[in-house]
């Protein structure tokens, strides 16, 4: 099925039509995610953290004083990482995360964000909000809500994580 050449066609300098609307849509999602990732990574770099590390800190901030077990953090990640232990090791070495053995189950490690981790997130919160707002500034609220539903539908077609 041939589709009219759109922005993505020009951006990736594709000379032939996409094989299908589905291919164009998936490539559009991947290209958009990469662009967002690059902008956010550039913002996080001066703070010495990666996008995955930011995600872990955000998850732990939301967990509050109770903390979270390592595997629970891994399950909540936006971008799944098989090396969650190494990711936490790096954050702990930077003083951004604290870990302790769970007293009820010695096989589990519980994790908390440190005050330094909280401070970094506080510095990043406003610029992140600005980036998110700028990315969606040309869209009406109803369009953003529709985009959220459409992306939910795409993710659900691949099943749970």
| Cα separations in angstroms, 48 against 38, 51, 133 | 15, 10, 24
Residue 4 in this model has a pLDDT that exceeds 50: no
Q: What is the mean pLDDT of residues 91-117?
A: 89
Residue 121 in this model has a pLDDT that exceeds 90: yes
**The pLDDT of residue 3:** 42
**The pLDDT of residue 158:** 84
**The pLDDT of residue 51:** 94
CATH of the structural domain 48-157, one choice from 1.10.10.10, 3.20.20.370, 3.50.50.60, 1.10.20.10:
1.10.10.10
**The pLDDT of residue 2:** 40
Residue 13 in this model has a pLDDT that exceeds 90: no
Contact 18, 27 (CB under 8 A): yes
Nearest to 109 by CA among 144, 133, 141, 84: 84
SS3 100: strand
**The pLDDT of residue 120:** 96
Eight-class DSSP state of 102: -
Q: Where in the chain is the domain with CATH 1.10.10.10?
A: 48-157
**The pLDDT of residue 18:** 82
Identify the weakest region by mean pLDDT among 49-58, 104-113, 139-148: 104-113
Q: What is the mean pLDDT of residues 36-42?
A: 94
Q: Over the stretch 59-82, which tens digit does the pLDDT of each residue have?
A: 999 998 889 999 899 999 988 777
């Amino acid at each position: 099925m041939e589709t009219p050449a759109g922005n993505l066609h020009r951006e990736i300098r594709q000379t032939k039509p996409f094989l299908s609307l589905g291919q164009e849509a998936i490539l559009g999602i991947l290209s958009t995610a990469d662009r967002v990732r690059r902008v956010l990574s550039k913002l996080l770099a001066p703070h010495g953290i990666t996008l995955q590390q930011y995600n872990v800190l955000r998850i732990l901030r939301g967990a509050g004083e109770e903390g979270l077990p390592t595997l629970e953090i891994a399950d909540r990640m936006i971008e799944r990482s098989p090396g969650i232990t190494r990711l936490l090791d790096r954050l702990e070495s930077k003083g951004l995360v604290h870990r302790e053995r769970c007293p009820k189950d010695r096989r589990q490690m519980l994790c908390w964000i440190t005050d330094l981790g909280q401070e970094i997130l506080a510095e990043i919160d406003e610029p992140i909000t600005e980036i998110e707002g700028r990315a969606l500034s040309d869209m009406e609220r109803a369009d953003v809500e529709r985009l959220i539903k459409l992306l939910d539908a795409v993710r659900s077609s691949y099943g749970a994580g």
